């Protein structure tokens, strides 16, 4: 009887050990896959690689807090293991309770005062960073952007520059000698969204009937990815943010191109007519045409964007074709309807969209 329980017990222990090993191996494999070569133009967003002033402050604070809590963990866990091993029950105890000790003023003071001090230090460090990020003054050189969250895409307006675009934000890099941060006003057209590009700044919600603010001051050029971080409906997960941090010159070139009115091309007249005579124009704007809709993205410079539908697909003629034929192919639940156009009209329309540079 005793023998069987013992071998049974040994069996469960072996099973548990094997299970733990499998989980550990899985975690190792997952970290390996995550850290494996990441292409440079689409880096995986990483809170441990800040590239902008507010993200930097948050990163340094989190490292400090991780270090403090790590030290506490090591001290407490070592004491626990030490006590568990040293005072484990022994056969000579014969199931008796150990002596019960009460009331040491010194020890009680120590475990009250030290944690209070630690919490005060963490509080002060956090309050300082919150103050630096939230209350930063907007310099006159700052680029002003109004970001509006929509189901399921982003609208970006540059009121000072007269530009309206979607999903792909362009901002200039900021040199320490000539700081040029970008200050954003965050609005929502429908429900709660959240603007989060981990390498550039903390996370801030976009809430209907409210203006939230945030800023970024990137130190390095490149494309930074982010994501709507607040569940806002079916396609919340396909509400990607792409922020292109450009050199000062590249930013000027981009601004100049965006301010150009759309170019009229003779070979695209047929497609333009379809665009202006179907419901497209009720939802989309193209400057210089009759289309002034604001429900969907501004298409004036559609071809200047690398992706369509908020990063759901690359901006290629085939994908545009597929998107207009059936937006659900990329984004089920998207708020753009399939317009049931004839194949010939669809071809003309895509040819027209391709002229919107
Ligand atoms: C009822 C409003 C509505 C109508 C009508 C409509 N669209 Fe859209 N369109 C949208 C919305 C909303 C989006 C954004 C979808 C998303 O990303 O989730 C969109 C996205 C797009 C995009 C991708 C833009 C980008 O930068 O991501 C293109 C191109 C487009 N529409 C073209 C058209 C064309 C062409 C027509 C007419 C055949 C049309 N749309 C009709 C609402 C509409
Ligand atoms: Cu959203």
Residue 47 tokens read as 């809170």
Position of tokens 């000698």?
Answer: 177
**Cβ contacts of residue 174 below 8 Å, gap of 6+?**
53, 180, 181, 217, 218, 219
Q: Give the ranges where the chain is alpha helix by DSSP (H).
A: 2-35, 53-86, 105-134, 248-259, 269-277, 280-283, 317-325, 343-353
* Protein residue with least CA distance to atom 42, ligand 1: 336
Tens digits of residue pLDDT in 30-51 = 665 555 444 455 578 889 999 9
Say which residue the tokens 């709507």 belong to.
Answer: 228
* Cα separations in angstroms, 327 against 65, 235, 331: 45, 12, 6
Residue of the nearest CA to atom 32 in ligand 1?
324
- C-alpha–C-alpha distance, residues 146 and 185, integer Å: 5
Q: 339, exposed or middle or buried, with CB in 10 Å at 0-12, 13-18, 19+?
A: middle
Q: Which range has the worst mean pLDDT, 20-34, 227-241, 274-288, 335-349?
A: 20-34
pLDDT at 268: 87
182 - beta bridge partners?
Answer: 143, 216
* Mean confidence (pLDDT) of the chain: 90
- The DSSP secondary-structure symbol of 87 reads T
Instruction: Output the pLDDT for position 42.
Output: 56
pLDDT (tens digit per residue) in 149-208 = 999 999 999 999 999 999 999 999 999 888 999 999 999 999 999 999 999 999 999 999
For domain 43-77+106-247, the question of CATH label 3.30.420.40 is answered with: no
262, 297, 340, 341, best to mutate for ligand 1 pocket (most atoms within 8 Å of CB): 297
Annotate 89-126 with b (16+ C-beta within 10 A) or e (fewer): eeeeeeeeeeeeeeeeeeeeeeeeeeeeeeeeeeeeee
State the pLDDT confidence band at 256, using cuts at 50, 70 and 90. very high
pLDDT band at 91 (very low <50, low <70, confident <90, very high): confident
Q: Could you tell me which of 341, 319, 318 has the C-alpha nearest to residue 330?
A: 319
Distance from Cα 227 to the centre of ligand 2, integer Å? 8
C-alpha to C-alpha distance for 356 and 301, rounded to whole angstroms: 5
Question: Is any atom of ligand 1 closer than 6 Å to the C-beta of 308?
Answer: yes
Count of positions (residues) in the chain: 357
Q: Give the model's confidence band at 90: pLDDT under 50 very low, under 70 low, under 90 confident, else very high.
A: confident
| 266-353 matches 43-77+106-247 in CATH topology | yes
As a CATH number, domain 266-353 is 2.60.40.420
Decide if 200 contacts 218 (C-beta within 8 A). yes
> Three-state SS for 195?
strand
In the numeric block, the tokens 């099973």 are attached to: 15
Q: Are 180 and 168 in contact (CB under 8 A)?
A: no
Evaluate: CB of 167 within 6 angstroms of ligand 1.
yes
Cα of 194 from ligand 2 centre, angstroms: 6
CA distances from 312 to 204, 235, 243, 331 (A): 22, 10, 15, 7
Share of the chain above pLDDT 70, in %: 90
DSSP string, 286-300: -TTSS-B--SS---T
CA of 144 to the centre of ligand 1 (A): 26
Atom of ligand 1 nearest to the CA of 302: 26
Cβ of 141: how many Cβ atoms within 10 Å? 11
Please write the tens of the pLDDT for every residue from 94-134: 878 878 878 889 989 999 999 999 999 999 999 999 999 99
DSSP-assigned beta bridge partners for residue 240 = 227
Q: What is the Cβ-side half-sphere exposure of residue 223, based on CA atoms within 13 angstroms?
A: 17
For the chain, what are the domain ranges? Answer: 43-77+106-247, 266-353
pLDDT of residue 2: 47
Contacts of 125 (CB under 8 A, 6+ apart): 61, 64, 65
């Amino acid at each position: 009887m005793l023998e069987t329980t013992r071998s049974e017990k040994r069996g469960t222990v072996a099973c548990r050990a094997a299970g733990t090993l499998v989980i550990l191996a899985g975690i190792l494999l997952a970290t390996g896959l995550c850290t494996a070569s990441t292409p440079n133009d689409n880096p995986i967003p990483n809170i441990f690689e800040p590239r902008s002033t507010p993200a930097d402050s948050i990163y340094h604070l989190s490292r400090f807090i991780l270090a403090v809590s790590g030290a506490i963990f090591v001290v407490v866990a070592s004491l626990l293991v030490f006590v568990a091993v040293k005072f484990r029950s022994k056969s000579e105890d014969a199931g008796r309770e150990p002596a019960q000790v009460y009331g040491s003023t010194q020890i009680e003071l120590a475990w009250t005062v030290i944690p209070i001090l630690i919490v005060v230090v963490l509080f002060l460090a956090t309050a300082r960073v919150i103050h630096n990020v939230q209350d930063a003054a907007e310099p006159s050189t700052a680029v002003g952007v109004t970001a509006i969250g929509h189901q399921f895409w982003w609208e970006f307006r540059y009121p000072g520059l007269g530009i309206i675009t979607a999903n792909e934000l362009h901002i200039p890099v900021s040199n320490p000698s000539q700081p040029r941060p970008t200050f954003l006003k965050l609005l929502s057209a429908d429900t709660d969204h959240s603007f989060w590009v981990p390498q550039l700044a903390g996370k801030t919600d976009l809430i209907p009937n409210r203006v939230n603010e945030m800023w970024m001051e990137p130190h390095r050029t490149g494309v930074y990815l982010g994501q709507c971080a607040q569940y806002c409906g079916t396609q919340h997960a396909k509400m990607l943010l792409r922020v292109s941090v450009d050199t000062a010159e590249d930013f000027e070139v981009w601004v100049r191109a965006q301010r150009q009115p759309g170019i009229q091309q003779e070979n695209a007249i047929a497609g333009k007519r379809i665009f202006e005579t179907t419901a497209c124009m009720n939802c989309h704007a193209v400057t210089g045409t009759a289309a002034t809709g604001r429900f969907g993205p501004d298409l004036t410079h559609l071809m200047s964007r690398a992706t369509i539908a908020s990063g759901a697909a690359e901006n290629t003629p085939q994908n545009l074709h597929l998107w207009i034929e059936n937006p659900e192919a990329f984004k089920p639940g998207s708020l753009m309807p399939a317009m049931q156009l004839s194949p010939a009209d669809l071809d003309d329309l895509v040819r027209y969209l391709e002229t919107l540079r």
